[in-house]
Amino acid sequence: MLVSELATRIGAELLTQGADIEINQGCALSDADASGISFVSSRKYLPALRATHAGAVILTSELAADAPCACLVVDNPTLAFARALELLHPRAPAPAGWHQSAVVAASAQIHPTASIGALCVIEAGVVIEAGAEIGPHCVIQRDSQIGADTRLVANVTICARSIIGKRVLLHPGAVIGREGFGFARDGERWVRVPQIGRVRLGDDVEVGSNSAVDRGAIGETVIGNGVKIDNLIQIGHNVEVGENTAMAACSGISGSTRIGKNCTIAGAVGMAGHLSIADDVHFTGMAMVTRSFERTGVYSSGIPAMPSADWRRNVARFRHLDEMARRLRRLEEQVAELQQAQPRS
């Protein structure tokens, strides 16, 4: 579309000295040509901006002077670029109806506008609402509900009685509602405790590839509206995640932990069970969370990478920390005794 139309539709101010050019695609700054549009979100990309061959760039007003092309000025370039990509690269919707290889139970209720892909299995009592897209090889077990305009990309498993909200996006390999990791000890063996709860996903939730959300042991595992879950994440039974919280890859949340709204959980964070995390709490990468956090803030743990020789020296010192602490305590006591023994003037 013309750059002027694009600017209007994403709410940008257009600054240009040339013709109203046509934009066909989104591109990286270094790869763009005159038909492409890119974006700049930070001053560290100024060298790439000055050298770009893009036809237009989305950026903030303070960076516009460095652009050699048409500028679409906004406050949030990343968000505006996302909206531009939706306009320039729309996804073709799947056709309504069932593929001939799908297996659909007679009691399933499927809206006529929903799409059921090849080799899907839809069990008894399932409800699939308007505009939902069930990609190939998906399995939706009995009595589950799929909200309007939700999309299961491919090879997604929805276990029995799960409730999936509207406009949810589930990527390949996601498993929603499997039986949680619950066992009772019987002497030297483990006996599975039946997990009789379910999962409830709110609206506008996204779950990445090969991530799992376990059903509640008795009640529900609840993922709030707008939550974003990356690839390879484990959510244990009876976890509750507040609205608009985002989790990066390889994190694990143990059972019955409650996470507040608008939190961010970076990659490879591990949380123990039965914790309470307040709203607007942010954990940096590889944080080991073993206690509750009731106050908003940013929290970290773990040791950042360093040269191997430095790491070995530090590990050797860690072994002596207890001894050093005891020696320091004795020295403090000796200093206190000397101070008390000195005559007062």
Instruction: Please identify every residue annotated as catalytic.
Output: 237
Distance CA 241, CA 142 (A): 25
Distance CA 83, CA 90 (A): 10
**What b/e readout covers 245-260, taking b as 16+ CB neighbours within 10 angstroms?**
bbbbbbbbbbbbbbbb
Q: Is 13 in contact with 58 (CB distance < 8 Å)? A: no
For residue 222, give the H/E element and its range.
Answer: strand 220-223
Query: For 312, phi and psi rounded to 5 degrees?
Result: -65, -40
Q: Which three-class secondary structure state does DSSP give residue 198?
A: strand
Locus of tokens 């590990």:
315
> Closest Cα partner for 267 from 279, 255, 285?
285
Q: Is 197 in contact with 176 (CB distance < 8 Å)? A: no
Query: For 123, phi and psi rounded to 5 degrees?
Result: -85, 180
First-to-last CA distance in the chain?
Answer: 87
DSSP alpha helix (H) spans, 138-207:
none
